[in-house]
């Protein structure tokens, strides 16, 4: 657990789960910059692990070199997008140059806290949530064919959750020469609790359960993280499980 001055409290946790031998997730928190990154890799022969770690490491370095607090929201989102695009180009070229990494890719969700705002960028089905005034809200939309059908009113979320193809994604890092992250900016309030997570958590623990755990009275971040992880493994632990928690404990204006 780390603190950004007296404003943000952060925790990152990752676990292999109960069935997988390898952990292909990667997480990183940068309390001095207010930046969190989470990636869920895909690809055989450990290529998913390579892709997720490349995404987190390379993008971390790029974002560490910029000061988002000096940028207007639109410019800040452009800066984050350019960093993702440059990182994607390296992962994609590596998958072409090295046969053992052919076809590798990774989801990505990035959170940047600056000027009492949260900038979120993501590709794939790793998610970001906000707990505000007792209400849990999903800040990201899954980039999956199933989500497209939900949005079109063709199926319900319950049906999608039980469907065989729920893990297919239509946006990711490294699968093509161009990356198309979805980016948003949100106002931040003292008392907010943010969750960034891989589908290893959300496949095993539904939003209602997540909300209940996040609202456990008088719990420290590591206790909340342990409860979420324990619930995911208790419900099957079918995949790697990764999460980042960020609690806002004071304003952080420029």
Q: How far apart are the two ends of the chain, measured CA to CA in Å?
A: 24
Which tokens belong to 195? Answer: 């969750």
**Cα separation of 64 and 220, whole Å?**
27
**Cα separation of 61 and 73, whole Å?**
21
**Between 151 and 55, residue with greater pLDDT:** 55
Share of the chain above pLDDT 90, in %: 78
Residue 253 lies in a domain: no
Contact 26, 17 (CB under 8 A): no
Residue 234 lies in a domain: yes
CATH at residue 41: 3.60.40.10
Q: For the segment 6-49, what is each residue's pLDDT rounded down to a tens digit? A: 899 999 999 999 999 899 999 999 988 999 999 999 976 679 99
Which pLDDT band holds residue 1 (cuts at 50, 70, 90)? Answer: very low
pTM listed for this prediction: 0.94
Tokens 């929201």, residue?
Answer: 73
Query: How many structural domains comprise the chain?
Result: 1
Contact 231, 216 (CB under 8 A): no
Average pLDDT taken over every residue of the chain: 92
137 sits in which H/E element: strand 135-138
Domain limits for position 155: 2-248
Which tokens belong to 168? Answer: 């297919």
Does the pLDDT of residue 254 top 80, yes or no?
no
Tokens 């089905």, residue?
Answer: 125
Q: What is the pLDDT of residue 25?
A: 97
Report in angstroms the alpha-carbon separations of 152 from 145, 148, 157, 158, 195.
Answer: 11, 6, 12, 15, 27
Residue 125 lies in a domain: yes
**Cα separation of 164 and 225, whole Å?**
28
Residues in the chain: 254
Residue 220 lies in a domain: yes
**Cα separation of 88 and 178, whole Å?**
7
Residue 100 lies in a domain: yes
Q: For the segment 203-241, what is each residue's pLDDT rounded down to a tens digit? A: 999 999 999 999 998 889 999 999 999 999 999 999 999
Does the pLDDT of residue 138 top 90, yes or no?
yes
Residue 36 lies in a domain: yes
Cα angle 48, 106, 111 (rounded to 5 degrees) comes to 135
Cα angle 208, 211, 213 (rounded to 5 degrees) comes to 110
Does the pLDDT of residue 58 top 80, yes or no?
yes
Residue 254 lies in a domain: no
Residue 191 lies in a domain: yes
């Amino acid at each position: 657990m780390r603190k950004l001055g007296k404003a943000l409290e952060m925790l990152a946790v990752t676990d292999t789960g109960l069935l997988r031998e390898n952990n292909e997730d990667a997480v990183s928190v940068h309390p001095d910059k207010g930046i969190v990154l989470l990636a869920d890799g895909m690809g055989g022969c450990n290529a998913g692990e390579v892709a997720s770690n490349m995404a987190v490491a390379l993008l971390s370095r790029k974002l560490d070199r910029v000061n988002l607090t000096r940028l207007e929201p639109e410019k800040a989102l452009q800066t984050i997008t350019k960093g993702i695009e440059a990182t994607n180009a390296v992962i994609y070229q590596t998958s072409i140059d090295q046969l053992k990494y052919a076809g590798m890719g990774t989801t990505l969700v990035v959170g940047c806290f600056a000027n009492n705002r949260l900038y979120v960028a993501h590709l794939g089905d790793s998610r970001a949530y906000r707990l505000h005034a007792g209400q849990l809200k999903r800040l990201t939309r899954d980039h999956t064919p199933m989500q497209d059908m939900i949005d079109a009113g063709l199926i319900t979320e319950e049906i999608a959750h039980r469907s065989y193809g729920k893990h297919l994604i239509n946006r990711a890092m490294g699968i093509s020469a161009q990356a198309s992250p979805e980016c948003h900016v949100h106002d931040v309030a003292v008392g907010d609790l943010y969750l960034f997570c891989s589908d290893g958590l959300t496949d095993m623990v539904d939003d209602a359960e997540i909300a209940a755990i996040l609202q456990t009275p008088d719990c420290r971040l590591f206790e909340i993280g342990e409860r979420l992880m324990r619930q995911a493994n208790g419900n099957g632990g079918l995949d790697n499980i990764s999460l980042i928690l960020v609690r806002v404990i004071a304003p952080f204006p420029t």
